[in-house]
Structures are given as C-alpha cells and as structure tokens.
C-alpha cells in the first residue's frame, strides 16, 4: 500500500517565525489533505490540495503530484498554531474514501 512520510517529526519555533512541513507519498494520489489536530483531538481541515497551490491567511500549501510531495507553509507563527499537523492521502483508483495518514509533525510555538 501507499506510504506517507512527514518531516520533521518535531519542530519548535519562536512566535513570529516561519516553517515548512513536508509530506512525501509513495504512489499517485487523487486526494491530499492537511489537518491540524487540536489539543482535544479534533482534526481541523486546513487544505484539500491534490495538486497546485492554495493559501489561507498565514498558511499556504503546495502539492507537486508528479514528484509525490506536498508542503505546508506556516508564516508568522503564533502559539495557537501549536499542535500536530497531519498529511493524509487517498490512493488513485477504487471506490473508497480511505485516507492514509502520515505520522504527523508536532509543532510547538513558544511565546
């Protein structure tokens, strides 16, 4: 099955710094989502981005499907950005919405 790897596994930033999180996947996908898991466990949708670039405020994401990776950019980080960021993909083909998750990046933003 498809493998999803995220890097770095952990990241500590000072408030105001910028960061880039990476997601590599081993096969072609037709769905890629970025999530932020809040301290209570809920997965918050950040981007649905199987290809191309999107921006939402201080966050932006780029997926290069042909090279099998996606990047999440966080600019001017705030303490509320702390938490775990997950990348999840859906394989091409098949009638299923099964998502395969990476192991996540744990981000800590210090004041």
**Rounded distance between C-alpha atoms, residue 94 and residue 105, angstroms:** 29
> Judged by CB under 8 A, does residue 9 bind another protein?
no
The phi and psi torsions of 67 (rounded to 5 degrees) equal -105, 5
**Measured from the CB atom, is 58 or 98 closer to another protein?**
98
Query: Of 25, 34, 35, 85, which lies in the binding site for another protein, with binding defined by CB under 8 A?
Result: 35
Supply the minimum distance, in Å, between the C-beta of residue 29 and another protein: 10
Q: Which residue reads 């996947």 in tokens? A: 25
Burial of 72 (0-12, 13-18, 19+ CB in 10 A): buried
Query: Of 76, 80, 103, 110, which lies in the binding site for another protein, with binding defined by CB under 8 A?
Result: 103
Q: Which residue reads 């932006």 in tokens? A: 60
**Positions in the binding site for another protein (CB under 8 A):** 30-31, 33, 35, 40-43, 45, 48, 50, 86, 88, 90, 94-101, 103-104
């Amino acid at each position: 099955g498809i493998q999803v790897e995220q890097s770095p596994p952990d990241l500590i930033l000072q408030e105001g710094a910028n960061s880039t999180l990476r997601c590599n996947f081993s096969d072609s996908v037709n769905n890629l989502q970025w999530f932020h898991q809040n301290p209570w466990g809920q997965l918050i949708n950040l981007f649905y981005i199987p290809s191309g670039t999107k921006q939402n405020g201080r966050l932006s994401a780029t997926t290069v499907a042909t090279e099998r990776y996606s990047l999440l950019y966080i600019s001017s980080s705030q303490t509320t950005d702390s938490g775990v960021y997950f990348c999840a993909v859906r394989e091409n083909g098949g009638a299923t919405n099964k998502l395969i998750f990476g192991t996540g990046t744990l981000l800590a933003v210090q004041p």
